[in-house]
Amino acid sequence: MSGALAGDPLTGLWLGRLLVAMTVAIVVSVTFLLLHHAASLRREAVRRRRIEAAAEELAPYLAGRSGASAAMAAALRSRGRFAVSTVLRRARRCLAGDAERAISDLLEEMGETRRLARSARRGGALRRGRSLRRLAACGGPRARRELLRAIADRSPDVRRVAREGLLELRDPFSVRAALAAFLAESGLPHSWSRAFFLRLAVYAAGELRRLTATRQLTPNLEKLALEALAETGDAAAAPLALAGIRSPAAEMRAAGVRLLGAVGDHRWTPLLAGLLADPEWFVRAAAARALGGLGRDQGTLEALGQSLTDSHWWVRSNAARSLARLGPSGMNRLARAASAGHGFARQAAMPELLRLADRPSPPPPDEAATRDLAPALDDGATRDLAVAS
């Protein structure tokens, strides 16, 4: 450079090679990008069309009508393996009992289960996991065998897919095997445990209840189990909620309260109202929120009204929201609190009052309540409220 290397044939050669290599790399990258993109779009479109056609052809036979085997063979010839197996797997998810078993048999008959079982033993973790996920959707003894084998796989991702796949099979043996494998694992990410319990609550809530009742779980897992039961609204889990509420661990008490709020009824409101005095703010907040969905008795109203002055803002906020959910009597209580200058009460009350005013035939809060709220609003605000109404 600067004349130093100019004219040197070695430099020219080296530079020429560099430029050629760079040009080739750019051209190859661009070509790969465009071709891959176009090909994958086309492949997806073709697959979508074939799946739709296969679904139309197979739909009449999926509920157990005779001739399914012949229809499947015909669809296999015309639409291909991918389309037929996808339709069958998706149909199996929506069915139960004999129809579900019949589809598993069809998938076995067409060789899909065998093919996936082979694929689940080969390649990287991504491929093995994908095959196992599809196997779980196929069902049947071979799928179960393969999933049971995979719960000891070297990859944690594959083991996770295997456990969740076994849950999906729903038979007691598979569920227990998945559960045993899950409990044998240590240091699982929080989200994995949460997802596992949620699936367990959906597919085998009884098993999850039994496991929680044995008190063998760590506090963290027990909390997740209670949350999963709350999420699926399993009414039979109320005794577990009560056990959680009596726990010395605050996290457990909060989880128990949330569960009771999701599955309980008005009989539990005195218990929950008592928890508004819990020393931990998040237990009080959970109780305040749970009460909003359960009872409208005077005791609940009073307890929630007192929580509007709680030392923690989240408890106050939840109490105000619960009062707003409790209908006119709750609104009256909120309006009184708002007029006394409680910010959260005012914040919760205003949108509710506005929504009532916005309805064509509103069930308005009583006059006294509206009158009580008036001092909380300045003149401009009242005028705006009137305009909005």
Q: Interface with other proteins by CB under 8 A: which residues?
A: 1-6, 11-12, 15, 18-19, 22-23, 25-26, 29-30, 32-34, 36-38, 40-41, 125-126, 129, 157, 189-191, 194-195, 198, 227-228, 230-231, 258, 317, 343-344, 346-347, 350-352, 354-355, 357-358, 376-378, 380-381, 384-385, 387-389
Please report, as a single letter, which amino acid is at residue 87.
V
- b or e along 322-346 (b: 16 or more beta carbons within 10 Å of the residue's beta carbon)? bbbbbeebbbbbbbbbbbeebebbb
Closer residue to other proteins, CB minimum distance, 70 or 354? 354
Phi and psi angles of residue 153, each rounded to the nearest 5 degrees, phi first: -60, 160
Closer residue to other proteins, CB minimum distance, 99 or 377? 377
CA distance 227 to 260: 10
Place of tokens 């530079």: 15
The torsion region of residue 379 among left (phi > 0), alpha (psi -120 to 50) and beta comes to alpha
Q: How far is the CB of 19 from other proteins (least distance, A)?
A: 6
Q: How far is the CB of 34 from other proteins (least distance, A)?
A: 6
Closer residue to other proteins, CB minimum distance, 18 or 96? 18
Closest CA to 225 of 242, 205, 250: 205
Q: How far is the CB of 8 from other proteins (least distance, A)?
A: 8
Closer residue to other proteins, CB minimum distance, 37 or 371? 37
3-state secondary structure of 246: coil
Cβ-based burial of 279 (10 A; exposed 0-12, middle 13-18, buried ≥19): exposed
Closer residue to other proteins, CB minimum distance, 10 or 66? 10
Phi and psi angles of residue 127, each rounded to the nearest 5 degrees, phi first: -70, -45
Closer residue to other proteins, CB minimum distance, 80 or 343? 343
Closest CA to 139 of 66, 198, 90: 90
Q: How far is the CB of 280 from other proteins (least distance, A)?
A: 16
Please report, as a single letter, which amino acid is at residue 381.
A
Closer residue to other proteins, CB minimum distance, 105 or 281? 281
CA gyration radius for the chain? Answer: 31
The total of other beta-carbon atoms located within 10 Å of residue 106's CB is 26
Closer residue to other proteins, CB minimum distance, 179 or 229? 229
Do residues 329 and 296 lie in contact, with contact meaning Cβ atoms separated by under 8 Å? yes
CA distance 13 to 11: 5
Q: How far is the CB of 57 from other proteins (least distance, A)?
A: 26
The total of other beta-carbon atoms located within 10 Å of residue 13's CB is 10
Q: How far is the CB of 127 from other proteins (least distance, A)?
A: 11
Q: How far is the CB of 344 from other proteins (least distance, A)?
A: 7
Q: How far is the CB of 342 from other proteins (least distance, A)?
A: 8
Q: How far is the CB of 66 from other proteins (least distance, A)?
A: 35
CA distance 373 to 199: 47
Closer residue to other proteins, CB minimum distance, 74 or 188? 188
Place of tokens 């009073």: 302
